[in-house]
Structure 1
Amino acid sequence: MVFLATQAPLAHEAERTRVVLTFTGDGRFVLEVANDPLWLLMRLETFAGGTVPANPSPAQRDARLAQLGSVFADRIVLFVDGHEVRAESVEYHPPPVAADSLATFRLAGHMPRGASSLRWLYGIVADPYPLEIRQTDGSSTIEWITGTNWSGTIDLTRSFPRPTRWEIARQYLVLGYTHILPKGLDHILFVLGIFLLSPRVKTMLLQVTAFTVAHSMTLGLSIHGLLSLPSRIVEPLIALSIAYVAIENLVTRELKPWRLALVFMFGLLHGLGFAGVLRELGLPRGEFLTGLLTFNLGVEGGQLTVIAIAMLLVWPFKTKGWYRHRVVIPASLVIAAIGIYWTLLRIT
């Protein structure tokens, strides 16, 4: 649990990675890599052997990132026809004034004449991220790269076909599921907090239904631009929701009407968190609804898996007299402590 407490606060930041590689008609390439600026600064300082000052101002952060351009470029490896191609220029572009925007490094250089294949490595991000490749004829494709692994070999001699609806559905289903398992540590603890209130199936289903309906609503509204809150507000409140459900488990063992109402409200917050991740990952042009629905289904699948695992672990003991004192109370105390710690961490 100590590991979870120290790792989860940055879990969503690593997911905020967008990479666009554009080939121009004059034989050049332009590579734009967008990341959360504070997260990126922490990573680059690690590679450079430096340290990040506590709570740097945006101006300090951006000035230092601009200085670390060469360190960033060293973590980018572009192989064309088996030979490494280096960028000839590296520019840092600070995030726009809008809250929660990403900072961008822009690299440019020349492609070898007659280039036919490409492999790519971004040695900073551990989580999956999208690499969009735009051809000179206007066609494009998105390759999902698993963290610090190499991409597959990408054929540059042809136009990129549009992915089928099934391919998009499968891709976003997996993205939604992995956002919960294994990466959504805060969402996992919230679901476990719901589960621990009572071993009764009806009690659990009522809470899960309220949570699901709520986060599905705000996910859809936020992605359509009808509802928005900055992550500096949403993320601390999500952490606080984890602490609340765990603390309430300590003082009651029955489902009260206010519990359902609060779980619904907390579900609205978690939906905004899901939307923030999905917005940064991007939704496919022409298949917006497919991507949105299957991502949400993947999230539900991840949550149900968490509940199923928890049920399998405690089912033989749920009717024992000691179940509450030896399972519910200790587990809820740990979850509450982590939730409070995350809340304080996310507001400082």
Structure 2
Amino acid sequence: MRRLWLACLGACAFLTALPASAHKPSDSYLSLSVAGARVDGQWDIALRDLDMAIGLDADGNGELTWDEVRLRHDAIAAYALSRLKLASGGAACPLQVTHHLLDDHTDGTYAVMRLRADCPADVATLDVDYGLLFDIDPQHKGLLKLAHGANTSTAIFTPDAPRQQLQLAGASKWRQFADYVRHGVWHIWIGFDHILFLLALMLPAVLVYSNRAWSGAPTFRIAAIDVVKIVTAFTLAHSITLSLATLGMLSLPSRLVEATIAASVVLAALNNIWPMFQRQRALVAFGFGLLHGFGFAGVLIDLGLPKGSLMLSLVGFNVGVELGQIAIVAAFLPLAFLARHTAFYRKAILAGGSALIAVVALVWFAERALDIALIS
């Protein structure tokens, strides 16, 4: 009994610590265009990130106004430019901010800075040193789109890869693909709502529900087939809408998508406590997976890549998401199968864990649907 309480308390602490956004990580979007020795650019940084870094909310009421942002334009520019350096051929390309704007992205309002840099000579290789927010948010990523004539390439800056040398001619498509594979893996691993949705659907896979009671699945093969069906349905569904949304063929309001994703987690978790669709969990995974795909698409949509680079990034990102899911399944299924006959699994993990998932997801739903902050 003591172990049961410890397990429940540990799960509760973990789940309540999850960020309420539970989906969109901190990203900035940097677009650079090189022509000869001149570099023009645009840098989109989330206002919430800038507020955390330098403080924008002058009256402390939790809401940012245009006047509050405008009064901090110089501070925003100074902070941003101190964390971005460009160079070519070993010589610096000094950056300056030429204009300030605001823009709405899929996850909120962003400060937009128009940039210009003049290099000493025509640029063949651009060295980029990126350090925005890494000191206060180790999960932050800088997503770069680099254009040179008709060629476009991308790069992703992280605390582990803050400096990159980018060739304007013959940019490595393999490097771009690999970057987005890694980004897709990371995106699913910190996409707590996606993970909890899949986990809630997989928890009963090692059990059989009969005569209003749970018992252990007779073989690993039966449990594995159930999990494969669920993950395959989820993968197929979110791949469809991820592709359609990223290519601009279909769109839904962000708040509706995020609120419905939270609702899907609630429904999947409650089904483990009061079984409603045990044999249709794969169908539920497919149906709600269509909406999860819109959530995944936000990163690529906000980057605004041209179709040539977009397809490569889309495929790489999707492959990364699937690899991340496979890793989660590989860690979960053997352990769950070994514990399937225990009361601890049925009561603490299935029932208790599902109840906690449902509670956290209900908070997410309230925050997203009503645009309020409860545990953010």
What TM-score, normalized to structure 2?
Answer: 0.75
Give the letter for the 2:39 counterpart: F
Q: Does 1:128 align with 2:136?
A: no
**Are 1:41 and 1:61, in contact at CA under 8 Å, matched by a contact in 2?**
no
Measured after TM superposition, the shift of residue 228 of structure 1 is: 0.5
Matched residue of 2:278: which SS? coil
Select 1:336's aligned residue among 334, 338, 358: 358
User: Which residue number corresponds to residue 169 of structure 2?
Assistant: 160
Taking the aligned partners of 1:114 and 1:189, their CA distance within structure 2 comes to: 50
Change (3 A) 1:117 1:107: closer
Taking the aligned partners of 1:202 and 1:114, their CA distance within structure 2 comes to: 58
Measured after TM superposition, the shift of residue 60 of structure 1 is: 5.5
Select 1:145's aligned residue among 147, 157, 160: 157
Matched residue of 1:286: which SS? helix
Give the letter for the 2:235 counterpart: T
Change (3 A) 1:297 1:53: same
User: Which residue number corresponds to residue 291 of structure 2?
Assistant: 269
User: Which residue number corresponds to residue 308 of structure 1?
Assistant: 330
Taking the aligned partners of 2:243 and 2:334, their CA distance within structure 1 comes to: 32
User: Which residue number corresponds to residue 45 of structure 2?
Assistant: 35
User: What is the identity percentage for the equivalent residue pairs of Structure 1 and Structure 2?
Assistant: 27
Measured after TM superposition, the shift of residue 245 of structure 1 is: 0.9
Measured after TM superposition, the shift of residue 282 of structure 1 is: 4.9
1:61-100 alignment, distance < 5 Å: 62-63=69-70, 66=73, 68-78=75-85, 80=87, 86-95=94-103
> Which structure dedicates a bigger proportion of its chain to strand?
2
For residues 10-67 of structure 1, what are the alpha-carbon distances to aligned partners after superposition, in whole Å with 9 as ceiling and x for unaligned? 4654454211233454x5433311133x433433444x7967532445x456546646
For residues 74-128 of structure 1, what are the alpha-carbon distances to aligned partners after superposition, in whole Å with 9 as ceiling and x for unaligned? 5433153667665343532111699967541123344345777634123226433
RMSD: 3.4
Measured after TM superposition, the shift of residue 276 of structure 1 is: 1.7
User: Which residue number corresponds to residue 220 of structure 1?
Assistant: 243
Taking the aligned partners of 2:160 and 2:67, their CA distance within structure 1 comes to: 28
For residues 127-176 of structure 1, what are the alpha-carbon distances to aligned partners after superposition, in whole Å with 9 as ceiling and x for unaligned? 333323445x6655433211485313456xxx421434x44443332222
Give the letter for the 1:245 counterpart: A
Structure 1 residues not aligned, in runs of 5+: none
Taking the aligned partners of 1:216 and 1:122, their CA distance within structure 2 comes to: 32
Give the letter for the 1:34 counterpart: D
Q: Does 1:252 align with 2:261?
A: no
Select 2:178's aligned residue among 157, 170, 175: 170
Measured after TM superposition, the shift of residue 285 of structure 1 is: 4.2
Change (3 A) 1:226 1:185: same
Give the letter for the 2:19 counterpart: A
Q: Does 1:204 align with 2:227?
A: yes
Number of residue equivalences: 337
Taking the aligned partners of 2:271 and 2:362, their CA distance within structure 1 comes to: 14
What TM-score, normalized to structure 1?
Answer: 0.80
**Are 1:44 and 1:68, in contact at CA under 8 Å, matched by a contact in 2?**
no
Give the letter for the 1:330 counterpart: G
Change (3 A) 1:139 1:322: closer
**Are 1:222 and 1:275, in contact at CA under 8 Å, matched by a contact in 2?**
yes
User: Which residue number corresponds to residue 214 of structure 2?
Assistant: none
Matched residue of 1:8: which SS? coil
